[in-house]
Structure 1
Amino acid sequence: MADPSPATASTPLVLVVDDEEQMTAIIAFALETQGLRTVVAADARSARRLLESEPIELVVLDVMLPDESGVELCRSLRETSDVPVILLTALGEVDDRVAGLTAGADDYLTKPFSPRELALRAQAILRRSTGSVNTPAPSGRVLRCGPLRVDAEGGTASWDGTELQLPETELRLLARLAQDAGRAVPLRTLLQEVWGTSRTEGGRDMVKSMIYRLRQQMLAQGAPPDLIEAVRGQGYRARVLPSTRRR
């Protein structure tokens, strides 16, 4: 369980309830790098104890728990509290979505989902109920790596003249790799400089999934599949490529 830090006690506290350890680590990482604190529980009983003892301001709740349905937990929570709830499930049927929302959930995501999307939805819900939350500020300069151009400050990136539609964090990650093109950037460096955290639990999977999404988006624009390489034991590297010009 990740205990809230006294130094950030005024920051919104999110309870993550899921019996998959890797999933809770990824979710907690995504939320914490967006300026939130987290505590985690693996079952409904532990979640209830935390709800009674901690100032929880949002619950991220998996539907399939070992001791009780997340929908039932949400329903009973609604009898005594109006704390916002985001439900997670591996099931995609409309009936499950309706059941969760009927039980009082504020939002609903079906696995697999983007951790960043979850974090943004959490921010939106908390913003409505508690005010603004903190996000890491981008640092920026225009970087060029062959056909790749990244302007983190301006919030744009392009491949061979075609603009890439990238969320802020993916743009920051791409910029950091382009900054040291041809050299491997360690995982810890990426976490510290892109997400502003030294936490590696959940971070490795978060970076891996974001690299995958970057590759897919750039492949669609004609970039080579190995433009961003995983360097065993070292980190990730953006290849140095010659510039091209469209005719």
Structure 2
Amino acid sequence: MNLSARDEQLRELMDDPDCDPQRLHATLRRFGIVNRLVAGWGRVYRTRLRDVLSRLDRPARVLDLGSGGGDVIAHLAGLAARDGLRAHFTGADPDPRAHQMATSRQIPGATFRCADAEELLRRGDSFDVVISNHVIHHLGAAELQTFIAASRRLATTTVLHGDIARGRLAYGLFAVGITPLAPGTFLRTDGLRSIRRSHQRAELAAALGTPWSVTQPTPFRLLAQGPGLG
């Protein structure tokens, strides 16, 4: 497998509007387990997000762009509640299938909208913090610039985009490690395609430019952080 460059031509199976709905449902449900194991949002919360939320003198407003089935919001909302932090989480995803899954979760302190970043901007919405998980690798060069610009305009303090760091070890470990969770889902095929579509740290830093910083908070993960403009 050649992982020396991004393969932007790959398309994930679950992005097909005509994909098997049962497999899609199972995939979205199991993202909760997968993301807790590999996405690193617990560490990002402890090292980046908790301090931002605690400094506000009112309930924080956090937006998750491309929120899928809502598992990242469920995780972060639980961590904030455990720490006694007041926060309201909004998930936005333009895919009605993901939106339906998210709204069925009934997460305390969270709401979900079937919308993308541009629609939220048109409505005049604003949030203290904007995050995303596994969105950036889906985007081509022009789409990426549009997305990160919109995310900064929606945020008043900071933006945090989490994604995969492309590499052979990540590919090999995921291919083996996902096996127990993969039956009946798109997890294995789409996960491996995601790795092949993803950036390496220097690539993403170059693509984003100033004022973004790109770090690796946990193994095989990238975190792009930039200031809000809202």
User: Which range, TM-score by smaller chain?
Assistant: under 0.3
TM-score by length of 2: 0.27
TM-score by length of 1: 0.26
Which protein is bigger by CA-based radius of gyration? 1
By percentage of residues, which structure has more helix?
2
